[in-house]
Amino acid sequence: MTSSVKRSFKYRFYPTDSQAAELSRTFGCVRKVYNLALQARTEAWTRGERVNYNQTSAMLTEWKKTKELAYLNEVSSVPLQQALRHLQAGFAGFFAKRAKYPSFKSRKRSRSAAEYTTSAFRYSHGRLTLARMSDPLAIVWSRPLPEEARPSTVTVSQDAAGRWFVSISCEDPTVKRMPTADGVVGIDAGLTHLLTLSTGEKIANPRHERRERERLAKAQRQLARKAKGDGANRAKARRKVAKVYAKIADRRRDHLHQLSTRLVRENQTLVIEDLTVRDLVKHRQLSRAISDASWAEFRVMLEYKAAWYGRKVVTVDRFFPSTRMCSACGGLGAKLPLNVREWVCTGCGASHDRDVNAAKNILAAGLAVSVCGAGVRPQRSTPGGQLAMNQKTLRREL
């Protein structure tokens, strides 16, 4: 691991009227250039041709010379070039089969953002000034940047609730490997409890969305009564809905950050299930609760923090029967309905808490993979199956 890692620090800021107008123009130009380039690349794709970043950059130069798109010259050129680079990255992900085909940006539905590189901003002594602006942004420095930080990129954005944010990317030398910890933990994600650990600890599910459901429903009813269109009243009602959603997301993100940081600090190895959340949210009765739990966001946090601090995250196959496998003897029981929270193994008579048993099995399977390199799916449903053999081997290794 290098001596420092590159990370982003996000802050809220309050622009002046002129700054807000400049940024809004920039957002519109970025969206226009992105959509024009995507249209050009899509048309070339239908003809069996490929257009790369250099070609779209040359197109941008020509677009600026036309009367219809001359307004593109009124904003900094750097965010426009960055939009083309982001489109190139989107196509790279598509061709590598890691992502879907890039989609057009909508003025109402797409995130408003513009990225500036070092040539388009000036940062000195806590004052950040963007290109085409004479005054620095009024940033609320909720936490300091690392000493002698040299930002490489600055991304300005505005969310649906109308709040302005700036994300500053720079090297952070304070992020270093932690001393080796003794802890190893299996983590079972759930809805009754957000997480259940192999140690037996159960972490409550805050259910942030449910706590704000009444306020959200009221704001949505008010929005539904407004006439459709671009009227000021409908825009105001839409912002009220967005503010409730933003409050929910902020609380959820803060809780997940605290939880993931704690688990990474306490444990050297963390074992989780490889859940396909995008498929799970299709469940008609549980989709809302699953979205509110935000398991995917928690996993992302866990993985990048583990990489920062020298920890290890092991994933267990999503089809591994962690819930109905006995953590004592390795035998497989019958499938359990969601309302069954405790069960007794018919093979050895051990009594299990559904979630704690699953977390123990996840831990055992993950350690078996790490130490023995074996698979995690049992080959037979009787005691003494593959997992049980891996557990015995693991005990000898440890």
Catalytic annotation present for 159: no
Catalytic annotation present for 250: no
Give the active site residue among 22, 115, 209, 355.
355
Catalytic annotation present for 273: yes
Give the active site residue among 22, 115, 209, 273.
273
Query: Which residues are registered as beta bridge partners of 13?
Result: 139, 164
Give the active site residue among 188, 201, 266, 274.
188
Active site residues per annotation: 188, 273, 355
